[in-house]
Structure 1
Amino acid sequence: MLTRESVLRRAAFGDAPDIDDREPAAAANPPERWLAAVVLGARGGYAAAMTLLEPLRRGRDPLLAALAAATLASHRRQLGGHAAAVPLDGAALRHAALAAGPADEDGLDPAGALADALLGLAADNLGRGRLTAARRLIAAASAHATSWRTRVRLGWVSAEVSLAAADAAAAVPHAERAWAVARERGAARHEIKSALVLGAALAATGEPAPRERARDLVEGALEATGKYRLGSLAWPAGLLAAELDPERADWNRSRVTRELYALLPASDPEGRRLAISSPWVPI
C-alpha cells in the first residue's frame, strides 16, 4: 500500500503530477509537507506552498530547512524575483553545509541540498546578468551531482547560461542531457521543463530542422502542462510556443495572459509584487 509520502514523492518527482488536491492538503509530517509544497508550487499555488515552507525553513532540521529555503527561492525566481531569491538560496547553502543523512535516490539528501542551493544561486546570478558568477556556481554544484534530479537541474542552468551568452551550440548538449535523464527517470514534470529548455536551445540555433524539432517539443510540453495542471510551466511554454508558431502566436499569447491572471491570485503578496514588477513576467 502506498504511503502519503510515496504518493507525494511520485507527484513531485515521478510520473503522476496530477494527484488529488486532498493529498497535499493532508500532508502531516515535515517531509510530507515539503513534498506537498513542491507539488503545490509546480501548480502555481505559491501562497499555499509558502505556508508549508516557512515553518520548515525556520525549523531545526538543517536538511529540510535547506530544501525548503531553496524551494521558496525557486518559487520567487519563477515569478521573476531573482534578487529576492538570493538570501533564500544563501540560507539554503548555510543549512545544507550542516545537514546530515543517508543518500536519497531523488537527491533529498545533503549532497542534493548543497547542489540545489548552488544551482539556485547560479540561476539568481543568471537572472541578474552575472554569467561569470553563475558559471562558477555551476562548477561547484557539479561536484555534488549524485542524483538524477541534480543532473537534470545542472543541465537546465548550464543550458540557460549558454543561451544568455548567445551560445546556442553549447546550450543544446546540456539541454539534451537533462531531457534524456528526465525521460529515463520517468519524471514527468522534469521532462516537461527539460523539453522547454531544449526547445529554447534548438530554436536559438536558427536552423530550420532544429527549429522544427523545437516546435514539436514545445507543443508537446504545452499540452502536458494542461494535462498535469502545471501552472508554473504553462505560461513559459505558451511564450515559447508563440515564438515558434507565428500562425498561432496571438492565441498562445492570450493563453499566457489567462494563465498569469489565474496564477497571480494563488500567489502570496510578495510573489504578486515581484511578478508585477518583473521584466521577465509579461503581465
Structure 2
Amino acid sequence: MDEEALTALAFGPDAGPADSIPRDGSPRQRLLAAIVLGARGRYAAAAELLDPLRRGRNPLTASLAASTLASHRRQLGAHVVARRLDGEALLAVGLRGVGERGAATAGGGPGLAGSGPGLAGGGPGLAGSGLAAAGSGSRGVGSGPAGTGADSPVPGSTSATTGSPPATASPSTSASQGSLVESTEDPDGLDLQGARADAFLGLAADNLALGRISAARRLAVRAAQADRRWRSTVRGGWVGAEIELAAGQPEAAVAPARLAYETAVARHARRHIVKSGIVLGVALLAAGQDGARELLVAAAADAEKYELDSLGWVADRVAADVDHDRAEEYRFRSRQVLHAVLRRADPCVMRIAHESPWVPIGPG
C-alpha cells in the first residue's frame, strides 16, 4: 500500500481492514499507518509505530507522532499522559510560527499564559479528547465536566507512553534541523503549521478534561492562529464545542460543532465526518434543537460499517440516548466494541482505562 492509499484511509473517504495496513515504509507512511490503526482501535499496534518516530531526529515527524499518540491515550481516558505527549509535540516544533498572530507565551495573553493552566504548572498535554464521556445526556461528549482529579496523577501514567523515555529535543535543537525549517505545506496539515495546531488543540482538550476551561479557551485560540486549514478547522470545532458544553453553554456549542461537521463533509473525510456527527449531535441534543437523532444514529452506523472502533463504542453509547427502541442493542454493542479495543491496547493503557471516570467499563 503506497502513501497515497494510506492518506486516503487516514483523511479521505476510503476504508479498509486494519489487518491490511502495512507496518513499514517511510516515516510518513508509518505515521499514516499509525493514524489508521488508531482510528480502528488498534492502539498497541499504532504505538509500536509511533514511539520510534517521536524519538527520531526529524522534529516535524516527532511532533506529529507525539500528538497522534496523545490522541490515542486520550481516547481511553489517559488525559494526564496525553498532556505530556502534546507538550512534547509542541516543544519539538516551537511555540510560534512565522505567520502566527497573538500574544507572547507569557504575561496573560491567549495560549500559554503564565498563570498555571496550559503548559505552565501542569506539564505538557489531539483534539476531541476522546469523547469518553459520551452517553451522559446534556453533558455530552468530549472531555466531560470538571472534577476529574485536576492535577492528581493518573495511576500507571509514568509508563503509559509504551515504556520509552520521551523525546528530549529542545526548541533550539529542533530549529537547527533542516527538516523543520524546510517542511512544505501539506493539504492535510502534516506540516509545521498543522503540527503546532495539533499540539495546541491537544493541550486544550486535556486542560478541559482537567477542569481548566479558561486555559482550554486560550490554547484553542493559539491553535486557530497556527493553522486555519480544513483539518485544524474540524478539530478546532470539536474542541470549541466541548469547551462550551463543559462551560454549561450548549447553545454556543452548536456553531463550532456544525462548522466541524460541514467542513468534514465538504472534504469527504470519513473518519472526521463520523466524529463531527457525534459532536454536533450531542451539541444539538444538549441545546434542545432538532437533528440530533439522525446524526447520532448515522454516526453509529458508519462507525460500524467502516470499522472505526475508536469512535464506534462512543457512537453507540450516545445513539442509545436518542433511539430508545434500540437502546439496549446500542449499549450492548458499545460494550462489545470497547472491550475489543481494550484487548488491542498495551497493558498500561488498559489499566488507565479501567481506572478512568471517562471510560464506562462494566459488565457485558
Gaps of 5+ in 1: none
User: Which one of the candidate residues 11, 14, 17 is aligned to 1:13?
Assistant: 11
Could you tell me how far apart the structure 1 residues matched to 2:209 and 2:324 are? 27
Q: Is the CA contact 1:9–1:35 (under 8 Å) kept in the aligned structure 2?
A: yes
Q: Is the CA contact 2:18–2:36 (under 8 Å) kept in the aligned structure 1?
A: no
SS of 1:143's equivalent? Answer: helix
Which residue number corresponds to residue 223 of structure 1?
301
Could you tell me how far apart the structure 1 residues matched to 2:18 and 2:318 are? 29
Q: Is the CA contact 2:43–2:344 (under 8 Å) kept in the aligned structure 1?
A: yes
User: Could you state the TM-score of these two structures normalised by the residue count of structure 1?
Assistant: 0.95
User: Which one of the candidate residues 22, 25, 46 is aligned to 1:25?
Assistant: 22
The residue identity in structure 2 corresponding to 1:25 is: P
Q: After superposition, where does 1:1-283 map in structure 2 within 5 Å?
A: 4-18=2-16, 21-22=19-20, 24-97=21-94, 98=174, 99-100=180-181, 101-207=183-289, 210=290, 213-283=291-361
Q: Is the CA contact 1:111–1:146 (under 8 Å) kept in the aligned structure 2?
A: no
**How far does residue 17 in structure 1 lie from its aligned partner after superposition?**
2.6
Q: Is the CA contact 1:58–1:65 (under 8 Å) kept in the aligned structure 2?
A: yes
**How far does residue 20 in structure 1 lie from its aligned partner after superposition?**
6.3
Could you tell me how far apart the structure 2 residues matched to 1:145 and 1:176 are? 19
Q: Is the CA contact 2:241–2:256 (under 8 Å) kept in the aligned structure 1?
A: yes
The residue identity in structure 1 corresponding to 2:349 is: G
Could you tell me how far apart the structure 1 residues matched to 2:272 and 2:206 are? 20
Q: Is the CA contact 1:15–1:187 (under 8 Å) kept in the aligned structure 2?
A: yes
1:60-100 Cα offsets, whole Å, 9 max, x none, are 00000000000000000000111111110000001122433
- Structure 1 segments (4+ residues) deviating >4 Å: none
Could you tell me how far apart the structure 2 residues matched to 1:87 and 1:45 are? 21
**How far does residue 35 in structure 1 lie from its aligned partner after superposition?**
0.2
Could you tell me how far apart the structure 1 residues matched to 2:278 and 2:206 are? 19
Aligned-residue identity in percent: 51
Q: Is the CA contact 1:107–1:146 (under 8 Å) kept in the aligned structure 2?
A: no
The residue identity in structure 1 corresponding to 2:279 is: V
Q: Is the CA contact 1:4–1:27 (under 8 Å) kept in the aligned structure 2?
A: no
When you count helix as a share of all residues, which structure comes out higher?
1
Q: What is the root-mean-square deviation in Å for CA atoms of aligned residues?
A: 1.2
Could you tell me how far apart the structure 1 residues matched to 2:213 and 2:55 are? 31
Could you tell me how far apart the structure 1 residues matched to 2:65 and 2:23 are? 18
**How far does residue 51 in structure 1 lie from its aligned partner after superposition?**
0.1
Structure with bigger gyration radius: 2
SS of 2:226's equivalent? Answer: coil
1:162-202 Cα offsets, whole Å, 9 max, x none, are 01111111100000100111000110000110000000100
Could you tell me how far apart the structure 2 residues matched to 1:54 and 1:61 are? 13
User: Could you state the TM-score of these two structures normalised by the residue count of structure 2?
Assistant: 0.74
Could you tell me how far apart the structure 1 residues matched to 2:235 and 2:301 are? 22
**How far does residue 28 in structure 1 lie from its aligned partner after superposition?**
1.1
SS of 2:185's equivalent? Answer: coil
The 3 A distance-change label for structure 1 pair 271 and 20 is closer
Higher relative contact order, structure no. (Cα contacts within 8 Å, ≥ 6 residues apart): 2
Gaps of 5+ in 2: 95-173, 175-179
Which residue number corresponds to residue 159 of structure 2?
none
Could you tell me how far apart the structure 1 residues matched to 2:63 and 2:4 are? 21
Q: Is the CA contact 1:17–1:39 (under 8 Å) kept in the aligned structure 2?
A: no
The residue identity in structure 2 corresponding to 1:187 is: A
Could you tell me how far apart the structure 2 residues matched to 1:151 and 1:18 are? 26
Q: Is the CA contact 1:11–1:19 (under 8 Å) kept in the aligned structure 2?
A: no
Is 30-39 or 121-130 further displaced after alignment?
121-130
**How far does residue 44 in structure 1 lie from its aligned partner after superposition?**
0.2
Could you tell me how far apart the structure 1 residues matched to 2:23 and 2:60 are? 22
